[in-house]
Amino acid sequence: MLSIAWSTLRTRLVSFLGTFLALALGATLMAAMGQVLATTVDSPDRAPQRYAAAPYVVVPDERLHVDTWQGGQSQPLAERHGLTAELAARFPGAVVDRVFPAQVAGGQDAVGRPWSTSRTAPQRLIEGRAPRTSREIAVSAGALAGEKTSAGEKTSAGEKVSAGARVSVITRSGAKPYTVVGVTDGPPTVFFTDEQAARLSPRIDALALWTKPSGVPVLTGQDRALIDPNRESDERARNNANTIVGIAAGFAVFIAVFVVSSTFAFAVAQRRREFALLRTVGATRRQVRRMVYGEAGFVALAAAALGALAGPYAAGPMLDWLVGLGMAPAWLVPSAQTWPAATAFVTSVVVALAGVTVAARRAGRVHPAEAMREAAIEPRVMTWGRLLVGVGLFGAALVSMAVNALTDPQGAANNKSFMPVLMLLVAGVGLLAPAVVRPVARLFAVLLSRLRGAGATLVPAAAATSVRRTAATAAPVLVAVGLAAALLGAAAMTDTAKTAVQAAPVRADYLVLPEGSGGLDRQLVERLRAIRGVEVATTAPTSVYTLEGKAALIKRPTEAVDPARLRSVLDVPVIKGSLAQLDDGTIAVSETWELELGQTAKLWRADGSQVSLKVVALLAPNAPSDSYVTTAHAFSAPVTTAYVKLRPGTPAPDVESALRRSTQGHNARALTKDAWVSETGDRRGSASRLGLLVVLGIILAYTAIALVNILLMAASDRTAERASLRLLGATRGQVVRYVAGEALLVVAIGVVLAAAVAAISLAGLWSSLVQIAGPIAISVPWPAIGAVTAGCVVLALAAAVAPALRRA
């Protein structure tokens, strides 16, 4: 039977072309994505940056170490404590490094450091000289920003600031004027004299040495990169790349199985009489199944081999794309490992054989008597097995949505459960599609009955009598439109819900936010509090550490606040207790901490010091923070937000003017609450759409191949039918219009099925989000739906009309 399979494969190249392309694309993507995963996971860290020229670096142990009954555990400290002055005095030849926020007014996010550390990277002067007095600085070109011209464009840094210029520099204490005496290359840095840097930041962060010290732990070689400022952002970018590539790979496998199974199911339906003839001449059911498996195997082996070979070449452009989207570190180089290509080859073959399993079983069940059938009426299109599996998957999706809404709405908001439910829905509706084709076709027949001509009757009738063909052709449209609508709609709804949760407790009329990572300086905060007729409260994000079950050391985010001022600007949802009792000896925690009101919590603060705090309030899950402490428990945490609320009778225009004057020159901006909500939603939505670009690109590529392939396969069965229409007097143009109308109807049926998938999935997600954020609108991404539908229409018309023009 394998020789027969090879013979049939050679005579049905067009029928198997789409399956070959789908599998080859899948193997290529899996090999390329595996290569990207191998690159992000196994590639070495970036070479040391900040201390590249210093062979030895002494740094404090910035981790909290706790002994548990399972052994020692550690977590990185949220706030550094630095090295002691006594230790620094032991190494007189060391360069003492102090790293602290320092930003030129209107410039880029930067750090301040002593001038002596300029040789550790190194950063070289490109203009001017080194600072010598407390009011002189050297600034890297990257820390400067250009001034706006009359046309609204920014000049380059070099055109704006040069040696001799007077600038304002914002540090934690406030904004002060300095004279720029030198400009350096390298990352954004403001260099002060060593004495001025010590006054601005007494903490010693590192000692750089050129001779090996004794008696202290020291970092050498690649370990020096552990303290680079970009390490955390590099890890985030790596994790982003791993997440999005993993999701894309999952969808690639899912849609590959979908495409292969639908293509072979349609091919088996087309060849029932052929299989019956084989049974008549003595072929057993097992031999027929082996032939179908053989055809799939030949296609899969060739496609998988091509994809495995092409995958490594596609890894570079894919990684470049992720870098361009800001979802992978720019310095990564594609890995040269071979296991991704081998895994993609094996997976593609397994996917193909898994996708053809049901079709092979159906082919084996063909009865020899069917060889005598000449009628065009299809046999029963919904077998009991397909019906039961389809109903089971559909029911499982509904049950999962209900369980998520009742037990874990927060998980749905984080998209942990939405993707699996969506896949179940697509698979279930796809299997049940033949059962709804006839009712939907009849509905369109009623709508088309008002049109003139026989086409209005023939088009719906052909769709209703050829249910398998219609369902198989509508399936790619279902996948493309349904997943695009559901994924984009879910992302928009989730972003809206998160923004609503973030904004709901805010009672303030204005928010003052920093432009950079240094936070709001103390001078600015004092100016804000000096404005008449307003209440001002600030928050500083930090962390505390708890030991869960005496075994797991957990780092928990917290906000350091002034309790008296906080309650005037934030309406924090509290389940039990009151924030009015929050003081230096107490803490307010989320109910997820599983602590009781009045219980004493033993924890470690951000600098590693241990403290016991009494729980005075249990926060709701939608509270702005996981916990609250007073500012006495924060040390170097920057103030990231200042909430400003008008007192009764205070004119808003006066306050707006005062806010503009106060923030000027402090690299901060004041926003109304509405503007802040809008900006937060736009920023969150932009980040969500970037990840979906990768997933939707793969989905659309697969479905385009599947749609064109099935339409081309179906065209060969329609030759006699079109010839009959010509014999009955139909013109060539009428036949082409009839074919085009049928293609459009099939796309419309697919869009109806996709609408059902999107509506059910988004309604299920809404039922979870409404419990977290209150009433929100169900977002429908109409432009994206219209674009994807238009693409399906163009592909369907091209694939259906081209054969008709050639043969009509």
State phi, psi for 691 to the nearest 5 degrees: -65, -35
Q: What is the mean pLDDT of residues 57-70?
A: 87
Structure tokens at 172: 């934690």
Q: What is the mean pLDDT of residues 216-233?
A: 85
The 10s digit of each residue's pLDDT in 320-341 is 877 777 777 777 777 778 888 8
Lowest mean pLDDT segment, chosen from 145-154, 263-272, 629-638: 145-154
Contacting residues for 7 by C-beta, under 8 A, at least 6 apart: none
Q: What is the mean pLDDT of residues 132-156?
A: 65
Q: What is the mean pLDDT of residues 523-528?
A: 95
- 523/121 Cα distance (integer angstroms): 32
Structure tokens at 349: 């073959």
- The answer to whether 314 and 245 are in contact (CB under 8 A) is no
Instruction: Name the DSSP class of 146.
Output: P
Instruction: Report the pLDDT value the prediction gives residue 340, as an integer from 0 to 100.
Output: 86
How distant, in Å, are the alpha carbons of 521, 538, 582, 632 from that of 644? Answer: 16, 9, 21, 22
- The answer to whether 717 and 378 are in contact (CB under 8 A) is no
Full DSSP string of 418-472: HHHHHHHHHHHHHHHHHHHHHHHHHHHHHHHTTSSSTHHHHHHHHHHH-HHHHHH
Instruction: Report the pLDDT value the prediction gives residue 211, as an integer from 0 to 100.
Output: 92
Instruction: Report the pLDDT value the prediction gives residue 465, as an integer from 0 to 100.
Output: 66
Q: What is the mean pLDDT of residues 475-479?
A: 87
Structure tokens at 390: 């389809």
What single letter denotes the amino acid at residue 201? S
- Report the percent of the chain where pLDDT is more than 90: 34
For 198: left if phi > 0, alpha if psi spans -120 to 50, otherwise beta; the answer is alpha
Q: What is the mean pLDDT of residues 650-661?
A: 94
Instruction: Report the pLDDT value the prediction gives residue 447, as an integer from 0 to 100.
Output: 65
The 10s digit of each residue's pLDDT in 346-363 is 888 887 787 778 777 777
Beta bridge partners of 514: 668
Beta strands in 25-70 (DSSP E): 56-58, 63-68
Lowest mean pLDDT segment, chosen from 423-432, 439-448, 607-616, 734-743: 439-448
Q: Which helix (H) or strand (E) holds 767?
A: helix 732-773
pLDDT tier at 148, thresholds 50, 70, 90:
very low
- DSSP H helices, 560-604, are 563-569
Instruction: Name the DSSP class of 90.
Output: T
Q: What is the mean pLDDT of residues 281-289?
A: 81
Instruction: Output 617 or 711, whichever has higher pLDDT.
Output: 617
Instruction: Report the pLDDT value the prediction gives residue 734, as an integer from 0 to 100.
Output: 73
pLDDT tier at 370, thresholds 50, 70, 90:
low
pLDDT tier at 17, thresholds 50, 70, 90:
confident
pLDDT tier at 151, thresholds 50, 70, 90:
very low
Residue 50: count of CB within 10 angstroms of its CB: 27
Whether pLDDT at 55 is above 90:
yes
- 727/721 Cα distance (integer angstroms): 10
Instruction: Report the pLDDT value the prediction gives residue 170, as an integer from 0 to 100.
Output: 95
Whether pLDDT at 779 is above 50:
yes
Whether pLDDT at 420 is above 90:
no
Instruction: Report the pLDDT value the prediction gives residue 93, as an integer from 0 to 100.
Output: 87
Q: What is the mean pLDDT of residues 140-160?
A: 50
Instruction: Output 508 or 464, whichever has higher pLDDT.
Output: 508
Q: What is the mean pLDDT of the chain?
A: 83
Whether pLDDT at 152 is above 60:
no
Whether pLDDT at 805 is above 60:
yes
